[in-house]
């Protein structure tokens, strides 16, 4: 079997201004491939109101959402101050700073959670495989949802046809650290989630988990 492999590279690339800029540039360049599936799914759900992004990185996705949905307000939580600096530059340049507020915080901190208020949509992209305690993150996020609200988690999927490629780049390491759909399904069932969907999206090494409150 191809087991989940987590390496300690996972947080390095977010921890300096140079790395944050490099990450932002790569996210911007590949934004269509990275986020198209998520944006299509979001459009089909048609959620209005307050959005919370967890681990928002350089703010590329938040900017794409705000540009498309001028009536929503996005709170973007990010733990790396360097990522936030780059994200704020990016958002200001696009003239979207009145729609997106970055908050420097650790989303796993209970006090932070309580101070954030409640939301109609909470979403996170390409972060699930970095979370030390996914159950806690999901449970905490569900607490912040308004009734009928939705949690969307978009991430890589551990597929065998990429798992066995012996490359050590961040992408292949992340593929080996990602979850298979059935592992997520079992976790959500154990957690007592009653309504959820896990959708594979093209090019089929990505998946979107949608959980309704």
Ligand X SMILES: C[S@@+](CC[C@H](N)C(=O)[O-])C[C@H]1O[C@@H](n2cnc3c(N)ncnc32)[C@H](O)[C@@H]1O
Separation CA 212–CA 149 (nearest Å): 6
Report residue 142 as tokens. Answer: 């569900």
Residue with Cβ nearer ligand X (5 or 195): 5
Closer residue to ligand X (CB): 1 or 4: 4
Question: What is the rounded CA–CA span in Å between residue 33 and residue 38?
Answer: 10
| Minimum distance from residue 108 beta carbon to ligand X (Å) | 5
14 binding ligand X? (CB under 6 A): yes
CB of 42 to ligand X, least distance (A): 14
The residue among 92, 97, 98, 116 whose CA lies nearest residue 106 is 116
Looking at 51, 52, 55, 134, which residue binds ligand X (CB under 6 A)?
55
Q: Which of 77, 159, 178, 208 binds ligand X (CB under 6 A)?
A: 77
Per CB under 6 A, contacts with ligand X among 141-200 are: none
CB atoms within 10 A of CB 163: 17
Helix (H) or strand (E) holding 1: none
Other CB atoms within a 10 A radius of the CB of residue 132 amount to 9
- Rule CB under 6 A: is residue 121 a binding residue for ligand X? no
Q: Using alpha carbons only, what angle is made at residue 86 by residues 85 and 89, rounded to the nearest 5 degrees?
A: 90
Which of 52, 61, 177, 178: binder of ligand X (CB under 6 A)?
61
**Footprint of ligand X (CB under 6 A):** 14, 27, 55-57, 60-61, 77-80, 83, 106-108, 125-127, 130
């Amino acid at each position: 079997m191809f087991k989940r492999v987590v390496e300690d590279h996972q947080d390095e690339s977010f921890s300096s201004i140079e790395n944050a800029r490099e990450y932002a540039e790569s996210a911007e360049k590949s934004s269509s491939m990275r986020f198209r599936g998520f944006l299509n799914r979001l459009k089909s759900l048609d959620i209005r109101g307050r959005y919370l992004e967890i681990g928002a990185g350089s703010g590329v996705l938040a900017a794409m959402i705000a540009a498309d949905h001028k009536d929503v307000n996005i709170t973007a939580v990010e733990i790396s101050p360097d990522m936030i600096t780059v994200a704020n530059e990016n958002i200001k340049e696009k003239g979207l700073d009145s729609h997106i507020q970055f908050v420097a915080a650790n989303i796993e901190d209970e006090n932070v959670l309580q101070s954030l208020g409640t939301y109609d949509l909470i979403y996170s992209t390409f972060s699930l495989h970095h979370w030390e305690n996914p159950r806690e993150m999901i449970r905490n996020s569900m607490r912040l949802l308004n009734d009928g609200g939705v949690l969307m988690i978009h991430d890589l999927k551990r597929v065998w046809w990429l798992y066995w490629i012996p490359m050590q780049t961040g992408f292949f390491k992340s593929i080996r650290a990602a979850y298979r759909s059935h592992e997520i399904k079992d976790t959500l069932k154990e957690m007592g989630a009653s309504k959820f969907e896990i959708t594979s999206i093209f090019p089929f090494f990505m998946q979107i988990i949608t959980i309704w409150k």
